[in-house]
Amino acid sequence: MASSFQCRNLKMSFTVKTKSPHMKLADSNSELSTRHVSYILRNFELDCVFTIYKHNPHQVHATGIRKKTQLTQILSYIDSRCDMISLKIDNSLFSCKRSNNINLYNTLKRVRECYTDYIPSYSEQIFNALFLKPKEKKVGNPTIILYHNSSYVILGGNCKSKVKRANCFIKELIEK
């Protein structure tokens, strides 16, 4: 049974002190496009996208962060072009590829009977995966999507400990 757990995408937002961050963030390794509601800056060197919404020009959103090394490069990139006031992780997507077939109906029953922290949702006709939504979403607990081959995706955790807790929970659920 091969298994690999890795970050697929991380979304962060930076609060900066500058009049027009969209212009100061542009450089020769980037492509700037203007949309009706936002400025989108695709940086090829960092392999991520920065979005600055026109209604909130002091907030820079970075998406497509896949590696820890990339994160440190992005932080220095932002810090060298703007005065960074704060940063926060808005969303994350972690995935685990596995190849153990499991019965999602049995897993659904087990979650309903034994686990009170998550609300399960499964509709095979709409989407062939079990959704496990946290009862306490506002405090940053992630949503889990579990597939029939025991692969899963963890979405939306805003701190490492909650993502790790969700990962342990789903591993325990699959192993039983």
Whether the CA torsion 129, 131, 132, 138 is positive or negative: it is positive
Domain-located, residue 75? yes
- Number of structural domains the chain divides into: 2
pLDDT for the residue 1: 46
Residue at which a domain ends, from 55, 90, 125: 90
Tell me: pLDDT of 6 over 70: no
Residues 73 and 129 in one domain: no
Residue at which a domain ends, from 69, 90, 111: 90
Give 27-66 pLDDT, tens digit per residue.
Answer: 888 888 888 889 999 999 998 999 998 888 888 988 888 8
